[in-house]
Amino acid sequence: MMIYHGSRDANHDAKVFVTGDGDRRRLPLRLDLDNHSPTGFEWGYGGSGPAQLALALIAHATGDDDLAVKLHQQFKWKVVSSLPAAWCMTETMIKNVVAELWAQDDDARISN
């Protein structure tokens, strides 16, 4: 299981790491999917850095780039915008929120 960790270094720069399978590495920005914030991730508010983080988290945790592009703004507002200075979340937590957002999105499509 993958675990995602966000924190700030001594210069207050945001860093996000993924741990799992005995490995620890930086979470890729995924600018190939959308270029919200080429300077890096952020969280705790609703801007471009948090959008980039939401996109990268969903893409990595689900392995579904199309789903990440579709739902990352909703995930940003539901999760990333309220993360504290240091945080941790599991792959399962991300997938559960994504499933909830997908169900809500599906309900919106059906009612139209």
Question: CA-CA distance, 38 to 44, in Å (whole number)?
Answer: 18
Q: Are 2 and 60 in contact (CB under 8 A)?
A: yes
Residue-wise pLDDT tens digits, 3-20: 999 999 888 899 999 999
pLDDT-derived band at 24 (thresholds 50, 70, 90) equals very high
pLDDT at 38 (0 to 100): 87
- DSSP lists the bridge partners of residue 15 as 7
pTM summary value: 0.92
Question: CA-CA distance, 104 to 52, in Å (whole number)?
Answer: 22
The pLDDT of residue 110 is above 70: no
pLDDT at 4 (0 to 100): 98
Domain borders along the chain are: 3-111
